[in-house]
Amino acid sequence: MKFLNVYIRYRLPLAIIFLIAAIVVNYFTSFWPSFILYLIAAISLFGHFFFGPLRLIQEYMEAGDMEGAEKILNSVKFPGLLFKPIRSVYYTLRGNMAMMKQDYDGAEVMMKKGIDLGSGSSLMQGAEGASMLQMGMLAMQKNNFKQAESYIRQALRKGLPDKENQAAANLQMCSIMMNKREFRAAKDYFRKAKALKPTTSQIVDQIKQMEKYISRLPG
C-alpha cells in the first residue's frame, strides 16, 4: 500500500525517466529489449492523466492536513482527462475544500459539476448523496428552504456514506419542517437523527440545542 502511494506520488517523473531509458536502449540495441521500459512509461503516463493522484488525499484527510490534501488536488492540471467517476469525486472534493474556506459560490459550482457527472462507481460510496447534502446546506445558508429540501431529500434517497452525514441530513430536514410549521414531520426527523447516535461534536451540540425546543412543538 505504501509502495503504491509512493509510486502514484512520483508517477509522472518515473514515466519520463522510463521513457528516456527506453529511447536510449532502443537506440543502442533494438526495440524489443526496450519494450518493457516503453510499456512501464506508457502505463505510468496513462495512470497519471486518467486516474490522477486522488488516492493520496485519504492519508492527508485522515491526518487532518487539509493544506496537504489541497496540494494534491492542485496537482491535477487536466481534470477533464480523468475518468468520469474519478472526475466526479475530484469536483466533490473541490467543493468540500471551498466550503471549508467559506467560498460558498465556488463550492456550489464544484458540487454541481460533481453531481452532473454522477458518482457512477463504488469509488466513493455515497459521494453523490453527500454532494446533495452539501448543496442542501448551501441552499439553507442562502435561506432558500425549498431548494434545500429538494437537495436533502435527494441525498437521503441516494444514500449517505455514514451515520454522521445521515444524522446531519435528518437534522437539516427537521429545521426545514419547523420552518414550514410541519411539526409532526419535524419531530420525526429529529427522532431519526437522534437514533443514529452521531459522535461528531457539532452534530451532538445541534441535537442538544434542538431537544430543548422540539418537545414544546405541537403535533
The CATH H-level (homologous superfamily) assignment of domain 65-160 is Tetratricopeptide repeat domain (1.25.40.10)
Which band of pLDDT confidence, cut at 50, 70 and 90, is reported for residue 62?
confident
Which range (62-66, 152-156, 186-190) has the least confidence? 62-66
Structural domain boundaries of the chain?
Answer: 1-50, 65-160, 162-219
Of 97, 166, 88, 162, give the one whose Cα is nearest residue 128.
88
Specify the pLDDT at position 123: 44
More reliable by pLDDT, 99 or 90 = 90
C-alpha cell at 41: 512509461
Residue tagged 512509461 (cell numbers)? 41
Stated pTM of the model: 0.77
Highest mean pLDDT among 53-62, 74-83, 109-118: 74-83
Q: What would the pLDDT profile of 172-197 be if each residue is shown by its tens digit?
A: 999 999 999 999 999 999 999 999 99
- For the segment 115-127, the average pLDDT, to the nearest whole number, is 60
* pLDDT at position 173: 97
> In sequence order, what DSSP letters do the residues of the chain get, joined into one string?
-HHHHHHHHTHHHHHHHHHHHHHHHHHHS-HHHHHHHHHHHHHHHHHHHHTTTGGGHHHHHHTT-HHHHHHHHHT-S-GGGS-HHHHHHHHHHHHHHHHHTT-HHHHHHHHHHHHHH---SGGGTTHHHHHHHHHHHHHHHTT-HHHHHHHHHHHHHH--SSHHHHHHHHHHHHHHHHHTT-HHHHHHHHHHHHHT----HHHHHHHHHHHHHHTTS--
